Structure 1
Amino acid sequence: MLERVEPMTRPARLAVGVVSAGRVGAVLGAALGRAGHTVTAVSAVSKASLGRAEALLPDASVRPPDEVARDADLVLLAIPDDVLPGMVRGLAAAGSLRPGQIVVHTSGAHGVDVLAPAAEQGALTLALHPVMTFTGRAEDLERIAACCFGVTAADDDIAAWNVAEALVVEMGAEPVRVPEKSRPLYHTALAHGANHLVTLVGECADLLRTADVGIPERLLGPLLSAALDNALRHGDRALTGPVARGDAGTVRKHVRVLADSAPEMLPAYRALAARTAYRASESGLLRADLVADVEAAITEEPS
């Protein structure tokens, strides 16, 4: 293994190479540019990524990934989870990584172990995962200021942790440390919440349209925004509704309605209702003498 050349704890002005100009890479590249670094090159192939590169990284040359990495002080790998390991191996094999570089990826699912081929070349390796959704447009730069990044470095590498946090702060966001061993659980939690929330909201809107409600978003917006705010503030004490109250008759009606009108949604309703009953019971909201009736209402087949 080559000896690693330590970068400064607070990154100096760096030449940044972005692989690639997806929604995340283009925006984070622009955020690093706004922080005083220079995005020198970016990889982009599709029409959409070329458009993002032109709009957000206008001074960067468009080049292949190996050339982008070779001339960069900071290599930003903003690519899909499953593509990342092969890309890192390929860049290392091509001789595009060197001692003194900072190699960063933005994947939530991976820690720094996936960057081992870069570390073996003497690079400092970091995982910086922005906990927000991206449109790939300029407005994302302002939204970064309200988000956190899950940051991971080698457990015993204080300098790497400091560099990771400094880069995030420079972009205007808040760093939150996530140990390497916790990275899979961390990402599962975020995906379970954010991705399934979108699915749940979409299915609620579909049900309201089926119920001839013309603009479901007008009903759902205030209700779900308040529910999310209360949940974040108060945890399980924010639970409301028939399951938490023990209204088994209403739960049975829900099951019948879904069985008739949207049977494809019934398994998800039952699964979430069962988890709600458990959490409401554990927190003392659902009376112990009503638990069995609620659970039966959730699982029994409608007549």
Structure 2
Amino acid sequence: MTDGLRRDGRLGIGIIGAGRVGPVIGAALAGAGHAVTGITRGSDDERASAVLPDVPVLDALDVVRRSELVVIAVPHDQLPGLVSGIAELGGWQMGQLVLHTDPAHGIEVLRPAAERGAIPLAVHPAITFTGTSMDLRQLQAGYAAVTAPPAVLPIAQALAVEMGCEPVVVAEADREAYADAIDAVAEFARSIIGQSTARLRDIGVPNPGGYLSALVQSTVERALRDASDPPPLL
């Protein structure tokens, strides 16, 4: 790997996963001064290239071999097989940073990479990604769940900050509960809003999504404030 990038704090970053998450994370880190070395093909290459223009499209093994930090942003069920498959091909490198963005996994899923000398990091930005540059603003207002070995936890926290997020440490054993909480909020919000807009549309309310926008935002903000207030003294 390139010593020059180490000395000035810049890393060569490779992205595995060109869906809604990977390109945005790459763009956020590029905005912090790092260099994106390559990205794999994904579900929407045109959208990915709009967020990360002029970045080489490579296969996963080439991304790994060119990069000091590999960001893995793939579906939950694909992550274990991808990590172990690259390990079997001899792709992971000693001292290489390997970061995944899955909420439910901690660093254990990266063990095949760690066994070959890579440094495992789990950083999940707690936003709903659209896969567009609008997500960069959402990152600036968001938090990120961070899990890493104690010795390298500051590295994971620093990368979360460079993405624009405030890092919050989540223990390995708590990642499943964390993911359940995140999924519950997202699924409940989508379901309730879907039901409500459908009912308004049925009774002839034009643009039901727009009609509910201010109500939903103000209600959610009030609920979040209430949840953040300290409990009353008994």
Query: Do both proteins adopt the same fold according to a TM-score greater than 0.5, normalized to the shorter chain?
Result: yes
Other structure's SS at 2:106 match: coil
> Is 1:130 matched with 2:122?
no
The residue number in structure 2 matching 1:181 is: 173
* 1:106-125 alignment runs, 5 A limit: 106-125=101-120
1:163 matched to 2:155? The reply is yes
**Would you say 1:15 and 2:12 are equivalent positions?**
yes
Q: 1:26 aligns with which of 10, 23, 26?
A: 23
CA contact (8 A) 1:78 1:105 kept: yes
Within the candidate set 59, 73, 80, 1:64 is matched to 59
Inter-partner Cα distance in structure 2 for 1:76 and 1:227? 35
Q: Please, which runs of 5 or more residues in structure 1 have no aligned partner?
A: 1-7, 238-282, 284-303
> Which residue is 1:198 aligned to?
190
Q: Structure 2 CA distance, aligned partners of 1:27 and 1:11?
A: 23
In structure 2, how many angstroms separate the alpha carbons of the residues matched to 1:88 and 1:189?
A: 26
Alignment-mate amino acid for residue 92 of structure 1: A
- The answer to whether the 8 Å contact 2:103/2:175 transfers is yes
Q: Residue 235 and residue 72 in structure 1: after superposition, are their counterparts in 2 closer, same or farther (change >3 A)?
A: closer
Counterpart Cα distance in 2 of 1:236 and 1:118: 38
Structure 1 CA distance, aligned partners of 2:158 and 2:27? 16
Quick one: distance in 2 between partners of 1:236 and 1:166? 25
AA partner of residue 164 (structure 1)? A
Q: Which residue of 1 aligns with 2:205?
A: 213
Deviation of 1:11 (Å): 8.9
What TM-score comes out, normalization by structure 2 length? 0.89
Contact 2:48 2:131 in 1 (8 A): no
Offset at residue 234 of structure 1 (A): 1.7
- In structure 1, the partner of 2:72 is 77
CA distance in 2, matches of 1:236, 1:67: 45
- Return the offset for 1:213: 2.9
Cα distance, 1:236 vs structure 2? 11
Deviations 1:30-69 (A, max 9, x none): 11111111111110154x2x21342222232111101111
Deviations 1:226-278 (A, max 9, x none): 221221112499xxxxxxxxxxxxxxxxxxxxxxxxxxxxxxxxxxxxxxxxx
Give the aligned residue type for 2:125. P
The structural deviation recorded for 1:206 is: 1.1
Give the total of aligned pairs. 226
1:97 corresponds, among 92, 106, 114, to 92
* Distance in 2 of aligned mates of 1:162 and 1:11: 17
How far is 1:142 from its partner? 2.1
Matched to 1:13, the amino acid is: R
Structure-2 change in CA distance of 1:211 and 1:43 (3 Å): same
Residue 116 of structure 2 aligns to which amino acid in structure 1?
Answer: Q
Q: 1: CA distance between counterparts of 2:190 and 2:154?
A: 34
The 1:213/1:57 distance shift into structure 2, 3 A limit, reads closer
Is the Cα–Cα contact under 8 Å of residues 112 and 152 in structure 1 kept in the other structure? Answer: yes
User: In 2, Cα distance between the equivalents of 1:141 and 1:236?
Assistant: 25
The whole-number CA distance in structure 2 between the counterparts of 1:141 and 1:182 is 27
Counterparts in 2 of 1:215 and 1:146: CA distance versus 1, 3 Å: same
- Distance, in Å, in 1 between the alignment partners of 2:82 and 2:52 is 22
The answer for the alignment partner of 1:294 in structure 2 is none
Q: CA RMSD in A?
A: 2.2
The answer to whether the Cα contact below 8 Å between 2:19 and 2:42 also exists between their aligned partners in 1 is no
Cα 1:11/1:65, change in 2 over 3 Å: farther
